[in-house]
Chains A and B, each alone.
Chain A
Amino acid sequence: MTKISVRTRLFAQFREQFGGAVPLSLEAGATVLSALNALAAGVPDGEKAFFEEDGSIREYVVLMRNGKRIETTEAGATQLADGDELAVFPPVAGG
């Protein structure tokens, strides 16, 4: 099966924990959810940052695929394509 490359952008606490730009190589057809799992597997306690104990994505996690928001509830249904940029960040605090 062919692989796809996905660029990730992480910010604030997530950047500190996972790194600011983690390249991922995923199976073709991988979803946003599988990318999150791959990220989480890369660092100690990574899962706790993104997921509740029941495995659902934490409510405060904000996801963007190529600059557009994705509801956490749709992460498992949203497929990634080669070259996509996936951003993962905590609630914003500007202004």
Chain B
Amino acid sequence: MIRVQQEDVDIAAMIAAAKRPESGAVVVFNGIVRNDDIDAMEVEAYEEVALRDMEAIREEAVGKFHLHSADIVHRIGRLAVGENIVVIVVGAGHRSEGFRGCEYILERIKERVPFWKKEYRKEGASWVKGHREPRRVPTRTCLCPASFFHFAVPKSTLIDAAGDGTFMKPDHYMPPEFRAAIITVSSSRTPETDTSGTKIRELLALDHVPVVHYAIVPDRVDAIQSGLARALELANCIVLNGGTGLTHDDCTIEAVSPLLEKRIDGFGELFRLKSFGEIGTSAILSRAVAGVIRGKVVFCIPGSTGAVTLAMKEIILPELGHILTHANK
């Protein structure tokens, strides 16, 4: 249910509707009129577009966070202090998906859905300062000289790009031509126990990036290098995971680094910066690195599901098209 309405919202009914046998969590966000010394608030909408945008946001959130349901009701008209403004109810298998999905929906609404609020005070009325949109270039900002440089990005990151994928014109990006290879570096794992490799595959699939090659190679420089050579024949995006740490066996970096024609130092820097946010100073034990070989991009990341999720979702998938476009110019 996606609604824009004057009437109040039956939150209990929304929660009841979100409860499914397979759901373990229902998360509710209820935005209300705060008493900032105001008498009332008036909410205005560009209703057709607001409904359409919220539908799109719902779809994005359901896909990203595997939500079982997501319902949004945003009110318009004059609202008194304490009244409901917006209610978002999401159902999910687990709490973390529910919380993240609910927050995602709210933040996207704040960024881009055409609603406006006017606050009424004794001394007069004023419009609530809106969200200044960081989007004055059609796709994503690029450091290269042509500011309207266009590059391919996977589907879900298109939507995410500046929060406004729906506003792009189709001729502003090229059809994705990604071919991914996954190499798990481990002397003990099998395809059945390769959880991080499986995770990478799932995340690529979510972005519609085809996986054309998958292999598990042991922690030996020669094995890693021949595995990489094979992958480079088939794919243009190779993700190696595992063997990036400091133990005696770890040699992925030693195997791959000498083969990189250009290193993408920023990848490792950003990966460790983001890892620091999750695991603290232990982040320095990862030697994650990326680079380019003959127009193809190679990433070496740690072989844990947490690390591959972070690297894939927050860095690799959003920048993949950008990197490949530059690497092939």
| Interface residue ranges, A against B (CB under 8 Å) | 9, 11-13, 15, 59-60, 62, 64, 67-69, 71-73, 87, 89-95
Q: Is the interface of B mostly helix, strand, loop or mixed?
A: mixed
| CB<8 Å pairs between A and B, sample of 8 | A62-B114, A90-B116, A92-B131, A93-B116, A93-B117, A93-B129, A94-B43, A95-B74
Question: For chains A and B in complex, what number of residue pairs have CB atoms within 8 angstroms?
Answer: 87
B164 interface residue per 8 A CB criterion: yes
Given A11-B114, A67-B52, A87-B46, A92 and B130 contact (CB-CB distance below 8 Å): yes
B118 interface residue per 8 A CB criterion: yes
Given A71-B136, A72-B136, A95 and B115 contact (CB-CB distance below 8 Å): yes
Chain A residues contacting B118 (CB-CB under 8 Å) are 12
**B255: min CB distance to chain A, Å:** 46
B contacts with A, residue count (CB < 8 A):
38
Of A12, A64, A67, A94, the contact of B110 (CB 8 Å cutoff): A94
B155 interface residue per 8 A CB criterion: no
**Complex: A4 Cα to B133 Cα, angstroms:** 31
Given A11-B44, A87-B46, A94 and B138 contact (CB-CB distance below 8 Å): no
Is the beta-carbon distance between A93 and B49 smaller than 8 angstroms? no
| Interface residue ranges, B against A (CB under 8 Å) | 31, 43-46, 48-50, 52, 74, 85-86, 106-107, 109-118, 127-133, 135-138, 164, 166-167
Is the beta-carbon distance between B138 and A93 smaller than 8 angstroms? no
Is the beta-carbon distance between B115 and A64 smaller than 8 angstroms? no
Is the beta-carbon distance between B136 and A89 smaller than 8 angstroms? no
Is the beta-carbon distance between A95 and B106 smaller than 8 angstroms? yes
Chain B residues contacting A9 (CB-CB under 8 Å) are 46
Given A68-B167, A69-B164, A71-B138, A94 and B49 contact (CB-CB distance below 8 Å): no
Of B44, B109, B127, B164, the contact of A95 (CB 8 Å cutoff): B109
Give the top 4 A-B pairs by smallest Cβ distance, nearest first.
A94-B115, A91-B130, A69-B167, A12-B116
